[in-house]
Structure 1
Amino acid sequence: MPQRFTLAILICFGFLLVTACSGKAQAQKNDGSLDWLMANHIEALGGEKALNAIHSREIVTTSTGQRYPEVSFQKKSRTYIDRDGRYYTETFHRENSDDDYQMQNRFAILPTGGWQVGGADSKGTKIPAEMAGPMIQNQVDLNLGFPVNYRMLTAGYRLKRLGDIEEAGTNYHRLQMGDNQSTMIYYINTDSLMMDKYVNDLSNSSMLDGFKIEETFSDYRKVRGTMFPHSFTMTMISELDRNNKTETSTVHEIRINKPFDDVLFEFPDLP
């Protein structure tokens, strides 16, 4: 369970990356279409110009007293997680690669697969390509858990608009994205057009089968012209033993367009 929850945290950190959007956002009357919702969601986040102006981002969050710094730069992202005395590094690259990288006591994901090295298995555990693909997609192509450049989804993904719904007195637009590994439902607040939560059903996942992940977002604030949630709660729901686990994270700092050296994203050689 701890390893699966750590993996889930790594996946969900990808949902905080803001990337350039495709397609011009234009406010218009709600015609019930996916295009209308996407255009107005992008506009509510700050608009196409503000999103395109983001070239790098550094965000620091804390959860259960642990700090999670994440750096995004030139369509790459790296997250450092010090969890229970173990140090994880998660690095995502936008470009395709035929190389596998193995990192000591670290966690690496590439489009062709990845490795987790350290702990009980000192030789490393390979992350299969079918798992790496969705993780790359989430990290690079999702904006706060929502696919901004939705017309350019990775092959195999499907996105459609579901019917609106009311829950606990709040009205939501709903969208569904999925592949043969997982299905995600996004809840977009009809008033603010911000994403309040998403539910990720991993019943068919090869690594997280029998689990669902629910993450809620709140305390949206504008940073350099773009809205970011500063509080989010993730619950990992086990369909097998009902042993649910919840963690709440708080964003302490967001820096936009801070200069970074690309060497930060290089993989070190093993000794």
Structure 2
Amino acid sequence: MNAPVLEVDDLHVRFGSEREPVHAVRGVGFTLDAGTVMGVVGESGSGKSTTAKAIAGLVPIMQGSVRFHGGPVRHRPGPGGVQMIFQDPIASLNPHRQVRDVVAEPLLITGTSLRRARSQAAEALADVGLDPDIFGGRRARQLSGGQAQRVAIARALLARPALLIADEPVSGLDVSVQAGIINLLHRSVTEQGTALLFVSHDLSVVRSLCESVLVLYRGETCEQGPCSHVLGNPQHPYTRSLIASVPEPGRSLAQVPVASVSAPDSSSVG
């Protein structure tokens, strides 16, 4: 039996000083196999993005471990590596480079010819709904937030990663575009065996894409398990409250139940 692509064990992330620590993530652990999708959900400040960045090696880990194919996470170009789609796409793109070269970068740095890399980048742009003849020659700084997000997704998928960490990848996109992007992500998982860690506040998208789900509250795990079980029959009051807060036609805000949740100590935030 093959080892998991990703193993996270007792992950702790702390910011601030020794005298005034801020515990952003406390004791999170899970495994993720090739060709599977795990959703990470929770309200703003629950520690979702911090968990994703810690796994990617972008914030220091105070305690615990993160293993990629049994070893440390090492970012390497080309297929089989780790890619991340950031929640702020504009900040993740070089504003002065042409979009075609931003997308082609994972291929260019592995020795692919400029002509071939740009040709594949054009296909990737078309896959995310951006006409390469229109957008390929633009600078990243000329893009809207939604366009920049699609460019970041195209670049990440073109790299054919073994592990893709996607932090709110469709939150800034029109509903008409979201379905196409979700289908692209699903195709990467099913056809290329990508392990996808999908951070989102949109439970409907998580239900449709993810096999398993991790629910975070103030940096701690409330529930985790198969998506159908956790979201279909939630056991923790916070999970029930999170699901109940999803807007439904005909239901007023006064009808949304507020759960009484036992919070971690006051020094812990997500």
TM-score normalised by L of structure 1: 0.30
Greater RCO structure (CA 8 Å; 6+ sep):
2
Q: Which is higher, the Rg of structure 1 or of structure 2?
A: 2
Q: Which has the higher strand share?
A: 1
